[in-house]
Structures are given as structure tokens and as C-alpha cells.
Amino acid sequence: MTCSPYSPNDYKTDLKPVWCPGCGDFAVLNSVYRALSDLHIEPHQTAIISGIGCSSRLPGYVETYGFNSLHGRALPLATGMKLAAPNLTVLAVGGDGDGLAIGGNHFMHAARRNVDIAYFMMDNEIYGLTKGQAAPTTPSGDRTKSTIYGNPEVSVDPCALAIALGASWVGRGFSGDVKGTTELMKLAIQHHGFAFLNIISPCVTWRGDHQTKELRAKLAAIPADHDVTDRTAALRFTSEDEHLTTGVLYETQRPTLVDEMMEIRDRAAGQAPPPGREEILRVFAPAR
């Protein structure tokens, strides 16, 4: 067995996390360190892109290329980076509000295009940084700062949405299970295509430590006989009440966006050169 030239500590920056004590994102960050180390991934060949929110601060804590972008815009930036530099390992990270509210449209297109990136969503079912309002994943009936009489909306299940939108790899993890989350991250990074990992990461500030205890009691491993290629079977795990099943829910293989673009480039290489400036101007000249 070959040892990694990097230990988890080698991926740490001098910047200290400013998350609340007990936040699940600390464990997720440690899983990122371990996954990168276990896979022998070179820091200079890796980029981590985020949006805005508590969890979106993560790129600053990892010794790789990183970009803390605009709210909900992690995926289009990660897509552009992967297209421009296909050999890079590109990760996108963020919270449920960042990825499913303002960033929901980008989530849809990254999944259907099968962009070859791994997207880690730290799901705390609330807007933590903006003072505890209901988020897309907040359970129906929950009382929050913006729904003091109970959340009137039906919550979104990120995994069900990812499967429906065409993601080629979908998994669910729990921040309280660092080892299990690390293994899921490694599988997501190694997958050739859009890999979505929803990590339940409780917010101690707006949810208290009781949520972590409740979720831990509901944890269940994916059954050994689960067929990850069966979409219908995978969706059954997204509508559970009594259990929180973690593991790889769905996986399939199909060409990625980079694969398709490379094929187009190869097809075009033997054909006539693209139109010149004068021809382009003539085509798009206003009608007279």
C-alpha cells in the first residue's frame, strides 16, 4: 500500500474556522482533509468553490486553490473551471439555502449536464448565518425566526431533487459520522460525472445539540443489497421518517459535459474552419 505524500494536516491553512463551537461543519472539514489525503490528491491540482453562508467559508480553510463566490453561484463557477481545466479536481461546497434557494437553478443545470465535479452540501435545514430563518430543507411545521407559527411550506429533499434532475451519483452522509462521510467524499470525488453528497450538518445555534442526538438515533446504513442503479429504489430512501439512511443512494454512468465538448471539438476539427469576423457580422447585421 502506497502512503500518501500528504497527511490531512498538510491541507490545513493558517486561517482558523470561525464556525460556532459544536457546528457540524467542523467534522465535514475534517472529512475533506482526510478524503484528499487518502486519494493522494495534489493541492495544486485541486480547486474548491463555494457560495455564501456559514459552510461556504470552507475553501479558506483548505490548502488548495479556492474561490468564495456569490450567493448561490458556486456551481456555475465550478463548471467553468472544470471546462477550462479538465484535469483539475474540482469540488463545490455550500449550504442548503445557498444551493437550493438562490442557487437552485444552477443545481438543476449542473446535474443535467453531468459536470464532472463533486458537490458537497452541508444541510442544516435552516439559514444559519442570516439568523435562523426557514430554508428550503426546513421541515414543514418547524418554528423558526421567520415561521414562528410553524413552517407552512413542504420541505425539499436534496437527494430526491438531485436524482430527479439527472445527477449521476447521489449520496447522503451525516457530519457526526466522520469516517463514513470521508468514504462517501472519496467515492464522490472519484466518480466520473456530477456527484452530489448531501451531508446532514446540524446547526447548534438555531437547532441546539438535541438535533444531533435525534439524528444519530435515526441513522441507518444503506442495505447491502440496495441496487444503486435503480432510480426508484433510491428515491424510496428520500421519503423516510423513522430512519436517516446514509450511503450511496444512486449511481449511473453517462458521458460528462467535458466528454461531450471534447467529442464536438474532435468532430469539428476535420471540418471547415469557423466563420470569420466579416461573415459573423453579415449574419447578425440588422435587417434593413
**Domain assignment present for 226:** yes
Which pTM does this prediction carry? 0.90
What is the tally of structural domains in the chain? 1
State how far the Cα of 186 lies from the Cα of 209, in Å rounded to an integer: 28
**Domain assignment present for 81:** yes
Q: What is the mean pLDDT of each run of 10 residues along the chain (288 residues)?
A: 79 94 94 98 96 93 94 94 95 94 93 97 84 82 81 88 97 95 98 97 82 85 96 93 92 94 81 67 65
**Domain assignment present for 60:** yes
Domain of residue 215, residue span: 8-255
**Domain assignment present for 22:** yes
**Domain assignment present for 274:** no
pLDDT of residue 29: 98
Torsion of the alpha carbons at 10, 16, 22 and 28, rounded to the nearest 10: -40
**Domain assignment present for 278:** no
pLDDT of residue 275: 66
State how far the Cα of 225 lies from the Cα of 234, in Å rounded to an integer: 12
pLDDT of residue 287: 61
Q: Which own/partner contact pairs does 176-184 have at CB distance under 8 Å and 24+ positions apart?
A: 176/24, 176/27, 176/212, 176/215, 176/216, 177/219, 177/246, 178/27, 178/30, 178/31, 178/34, 180/246, 180/247, 181/27, 181/28, 181/31, 182/31, 182/34, 182/35, 182/38, 184/246, 184/247, 184/248
- The CATH number covering residue 125 comes to 3.40.50.970
**Domain assignment present for 262:** no
Is the Cβ–Cβ distance between 46 and 36 less than 8 Å?
yes
pLDDT of residue 208: 73
**Domain assignment present for 281:** no
